[in-house]
Amino acid sequence: MTPRILAAGDQALTVELSSEVDEVVNARVIALARSLADDPLPGVEETVPTYRSLLVLYDPGTVRGAALGAALLERLGALDVRAGAARLWHVPVEYGGETALDLEEMARMKEMSPDELIALHGSAEYRVHMIGFAPGFTYLGGLPERLHTPRRATPRQFVAASSIGIGGKQASVNSVAGPSGWRFLGRTPLVPFDPAREEPFLFRAGDRIRFHPVTSAEAARLDAALARGESPVTPEVAA
């Protein structure tokens, strides 16, 4: 579809690139957000990438919406959508235990052992499509097709922060505790959202993630390191 500029209140525009969820479209969304961060247009204050659109918040005292919309379309037309440098996170996961709410049931549903399910889940490289509905909640593409599973018919009222989930064709990393209908395999000691950090969200749209299992003892060691303010896991940066 032809990109559209849609008003989102009186201080934001939505640049809608497609009506479909597609990795190529998502790459253009993230590239546009990166372009505006590196070379801001006058009046632009913040951008929020989603699967297929970019929310652009602006100061109406500096720029009018119509003029900004035209400038955004011009920027989009000249956009370089090469992948560039991307961060790759190796995310430790404690599969099993109290946070593996659906591991055993999913293994039965998929007619595999829990260890086989864990291995399959960890075999993929996931892409962060967007951060949304809760602060730092990480939506991931790349889930192996065999693990595609509908959400639960009845959501749970409480799921712990940092839980590792599956919902339909998507994977996720929970950010804050709360209700959820996703299915959960375990948890990571990493903290996706910390408002006290200089950069509150750990992951960004466009990042890559690989999960790998750790024992309960290893998870406890990482928990302790993070509590001391250490950063035991840092991303690789590759072109």
Pairing relationship of beta strands 86-95 and 138-141 according to DSSP bridges: unpaired
Going along the chain, which residue ranges are E strands?
4-7, 12-16, 44-49, 53-58, 86-95, 126-131, 138-141, 156-159, 163-167, 170-173, 178-180, 183-187, 208-213, 236-238
pLDDT at 10 (0 to 100):
92
Residues 236 and 102: their CA atoms lie apart, in Å, by 30
- Region 201-221: mean pLDDT is 95
pLDDT of residue 82 exceeding 80: no
Q: Domains of the chain by range and CATH?
A: 4-77 (3.30.1360.40), 86-238 (2.40.100.10)
User: Would you give the distance in Å from CA 96 to the centre of its chain?
Assistant: 23
Q: CA–CA distance from 166 to each of 65, 92, 126 (Å)?
A: 38, 16, 12
Residues 224 and 205: their CA atoms lie apart, in Å, by 28
Apex CA 118: angle with CA 113 and CA 121, to 5°?
125
Residues 80 and 86: their CA atoms lie apart, in Å, by 15
| Averaged confidence pLDDT in the chain | 93
pLDDT at 237 (0 to 100):
75
Residues 31 and 177: their CA atoms lie apart, in Å, by 31
State percent of the chain over pLDDT 70. Answer: 97
pLDDT at 56 (0 to 100):
97
Model pLDDT for residues 143-199, shown as the tens digit of each residue: 999 999 999 999 999 999 999 999 999 999 999 999 999 999 999 999 999 999 999
Model pLDDT for residues 128-154, shown as the tens digit of each residue: 999 988 999 999 999 999 999 999 999
- Region 82-96: mean pLDDT is 85
